[in-house]
Amino acid sequence: MGNFLDEKDAMARLGNNKKLYAMLLKKFNGDAMLEELKNKLADGDAGALQAQAHTIKGLAANLSLQDLKEKSEAIESAVKNSGSTEGIDISEITVSITATNEAVSNWLSENA
């Protein structure tokens, strides 16, 4: 499996402030992001799907959620390159969000 939560990277980004990281992670809602992604895909709106993938990518990068960043980046690129939602597969990001949710939950239970 991938690297779902990179604490070392997050601490470097946040000046070793675990309290701040915990506060940010508590706001992370992967299920809501996945639901939005599914809705954009179902709507067939390539621009909205690309924008949602970009938003997830940025959030994941800021929170050092590496696998999720990579999976959302792949969707963003695929939509950008094709200009369509046709053939866009979100199964990998679905797995990544589930694993990321678990990693976040585990980190919070150990650190917050």
pTM here?
Answer: 0.93
DSSP state of 101: H
* 7-111 CATH choice from 1.20.1260, 1.10.1740, 1.20.1070, 1.20.120: 1.20.120
Q: What is the DSSP string of 2-54?
A: -----HHHHHHHTTT-HHHHHHHHHT--HHHHHHHHHHHHHHT-HHHHHHHHH
CB-based contact 99:33 (threshold 8 Å): no
What pLDDT sits at residue 1?
A: 39
Inform me whether the pLDDT recorded for 77 exceeds 90: yes
- The percent of residues above 70 in pLDDT, for the chain, comes to 98
What pLDDT sits at residue 3?
A: 86
| Amino acid (one-letter) located at 93 | I
What pLDDT sits at residue 2?
A: 52
CB-based contact 1:100 (threshold 8 Å): no
What pLDDT sits at residue 55?
A: 96
Sketch the domain layout of the chain as residue ranges.
Answer: 7-111
